[in-house]
Structure 1
Amino acid sequence: MKNKYISMIILAILLGVLIGIQFKSSYQEKFQLSFVDRQFVGDINAIKKENAELKRKLDTLNENLKFIEKNTIVNDIEKGLKEQVDSLKLILGYLDVKGPGMTIKIDTKEEVNLGFVMEEKKILISLINEIRIYGGEVISINNQRITPYSEVTLAGNHININSTPIAQPYEIKIIGDIEKLNRYINKGNVLIDTMINMYDLNVDITSSKELIIYKAEREKKTRYVRNIEDM
């Protein structure tokens, strides 16, 4: 009986030791897994933080890109509008212009009123319109800028341009496509031949690498130079 009691005590002790070892083993395993989990979670959080930072930078870059694109569009629109305004100012004669061109000087050999000759056959009007067709972009006559508002009329015994009387000789300055203008002038120009051979006028033509045609002095009411086809 005593031996049996002793055996039971020893078995209980052994069971206690085994249970203790098991609990210790489980605790250590749980502790080790917890550490690995914490390290894994830490890595995930670091990646999330890095992704959040990258997303913030990406959002900033996208905003900057939108700003740049918007400003580029605005600048392009402003540039286009400015070009349109400058082109309109050029057409209306509101700008001084410098560039290659030519000068046509017309005078009489005798004491003849050049204004009467020019108005009778509409030579000056026809010449202006042809010059425009054949490369003339900016034109002036005796420093009077020719614009869509210009009138070229006989007033008494002289020609008026922009309501300003001009005296002979007539000096026509042209800025534009110089090669095209030279071809127009030198290919048996009917108007120039008529002035020289039929009306015995002096016509002197010179080309220039640089001419200056000044802007119109003041605005005029809308009156267009008549087209050659209307004559």
Structure 2
Amino acid sequence: MNSKDKKYIFMFIFMFLGVIGTVQFKSILNNTKEKPSMAYEIENIMKELDSEKAIGNELREEIEFNSKKKESILKTFSSSNDDGLLTTKWEEAKLYAGFTNVKGDGVILTLNDAKEKNPIKSEYSLLHDSDIYEVVNELKKGGAQAISINNERIISTTEIMCAGPTIRVNKNRYAVPFEIKAIGDSKRLYYTFIESEIYSVLAYNNIRVDIKEATGIEIPKYNGNADNLVKGLEVVDK
């Protein structure tokens, strides 16, 4: 091998080492770039959450405005077309359906997860949608005339569903603690619940349960889109 061949070989080796070094340097540089901290990511998520809440509040206000506008139109129409009977029947229908704000005596329950989680059966230390569903059913058995969960009015089509660490009521998500209000005979509601099987189960699993009789409980009306409740239904004339 002559000296000229050796020069070409060395030149090729140096070029190869140079390429390898460049690639490694870029890789190290990329890995050492400062990544967003966990606190920064949480802050951004909280900002997004606040933004979504603001949008939700605006939509609620819009729904409330349109509902009042519709009520005004219906009242004007009914007052000009009958002797007040239609208006009375309409108000009664809304009351029965849960579309009016109501006030009365009853009970207030506050439910929360157990303070200390059971390491063997940790799922029993947490409240689930099925627990809330059974509590509501017991209140209905006790003669509850109006019920709300975290101020979400419970009506005939209300769904209580699991949504990860939260539950969904009327398509809105809520985390613990859950405040359940029920209007009716306060003593009957109280004793129906504390003598129920679900109360015993919750107490056995150290779920925090507080129930008290109260006067002047206010329960808001259903605030969802009522049109979606009857979408697809058709009245059948007999």
Tell me whether 1:106 sits opposite 2:111 in the alignment.
Answer: yes
Name the residue aligned to 1:183. Answer: 191
| Cα distance in 1 for residues equivalent to 2:89 and 2:95 | 10
Residue type of the alignment partner of 1:194? V
Q: Is the 8 A contact 1:98 1:211 kept in 2?
A: yes
Equivalent residues in 2 for 1:216-231 (5 A)? 216-220=222-226, 221-222=228-229
Tell me if 1:168 matches 2:168: no
Kept after mapping to 1: 8 A contact 2:103/2:217: yes
Distance in structure 2 (CA, Å) of the matches to 1:84 and 1:126? 33
The answer to whether the aligner puts 1:86 opposite 2:87 as a matched pair is: no
CA distance in 1, matches of 2:143, 2:93: 18
Aligned to 1:212: 218
How has the CA–CA distance of structure 1 residues 90 and 218 changed in structure 2, closer, same or farther, with 3 Å as cutoff? same
Counterpart position of 1:202 = 208
Q: TM-score, normalised by structure 1?
A: 0.55
Would the alpha carbon gap of residues 109 and 116 (structure 1) be closer, same or farther in structure 2, given more than 3 Å must change? closer
Distance 1:148 1:115, change over 3 A: farther
Give the deviation of 1:181 after TM superposition.
Answer: 1.2
The match for 2:199 is: 192
- Report the identity percentage: 27
- The runs of at least 4 consecutive aligned structure 1 residues that moved more than 4 Å come to 111-116
- Please name the residue that 1:64 is paired with: none
In the alignment, does 2:129 pair up with 1:124? no
TM-score (norm 2): 0.53
CA distance in 2 between partners of 1:125 and 1:152 (Å):
7
* Higher share of residues assigned helix: 1
Look at both structures and tell me which one has the larger radius of gyration over its CA atoms: 1
Question: In structure 2, how many angstroms separate the alpha carbons of the residues matched to 1:82 and 1:175?
Answer: 25
Is the Cα–Cα contact under 8 Å of residues 109 and 209 in structure 2 kept in the other structure?
yes
Runs of 5+ consecutive residues of structure 1 not aligned to the other structure: 1-73, 224-231
> How many Å apart are 1:148 and its aligned residue?
1.2
What SS does the corresponding residue of 2:221 show, helix, strand or coil? coil
Unaligned runs of 5+ in 2: 1-81, 118-122, 231-238
Q: How many pairs were matched up?
A: 143
Deviations for 1:183-216, whole angstroms, at most 9, x for unmatched residues? 3134x2211111011x211110111121101112
Pair 89,111 (structure 1): closer, same or farther in 2 beyond 3 Å: farther
> Conserved in 1, the CA contact under 8 Å of 2:153 and 2:221?
yes
CA contact (8 A) 2:114 2:126 kept: no
- 2: CA distance, partners of 1:87 / 1:114: 42
Q: Provide the rounded CA distance (Å) in 1 between the counterparts of 2:152 and 2:125.
A: 16
Q: Relative to structure 1, is the Cα distance of residues 126 and 179 closer, same or farther in structure 2, using a 3 angstrom cutoff?
A: same
Superposition deviation, residue 83 in structure 1: 4.6
- Two-structure CA RMSD over aligned residues (Å): 2.5
